[in-house]
Amino acid sequence: MKLSYFINALDTCIYRCDVQSVSEQDTSDGWKISIQGHTIDDSKYLVNILYDYLFSNNIPFKSATVTRFNLKDRGTKRDLEQSKKAMTIYCPNTMNIKDLCEKVYALTKDYKGWHSIDTPSSYEHYAGGLFFRNDRDIDGKYVRADN
């Protein structure tokens, strides 16, 4: 998928909260990075900065559409938290989550869109706008964030 198509989909997709990349990577270990943001411009900025690295390394991710950012208007704590997830990056089982965090942080050090956003429920702050967590239990079943 071309970068321009991906960016256009973020603006025009009104029925989905995210546009997701296609990847064959196994991410069943459950590690993921959430990069926080306030607006669709934050989502676009992150895609522009990270797209080449993520695609060239076959790392799956999803980026927030306008629909996700509009969740804040629903008024619940969960929707407010969900509306701040500008990008989610899924760590392939072949990578270490801290190594992936470090590479992503190195590319996004100048990103300011995460300022004034609290750490999301069940996540740990890594650096800048990066927060990470494991969303699997001991049996490999999905565990929803506590929000």
Judge if pTM exceeds 0.85.
yes
Cα Rg of the chain (Å, integer): 14
For residue range 54-111, what is the model confidence (pLDDT) as tens digits? Answer: 999 999 999 999 889 888 888 788 888 888 999 999 999 999 999 999 999 999 999 9
Enumerate domains of the chain plus CATH numbers: 3-134 (3.30.2430.10)
Strand, coil or helix: 128: coil
Burial class (CB in 10 A: 0-12, 13-18, 19+), 145: middle
Kindly indicate the confidence band of residue 1, based on its pLDDT and cuts at 50, 70 and 90: low
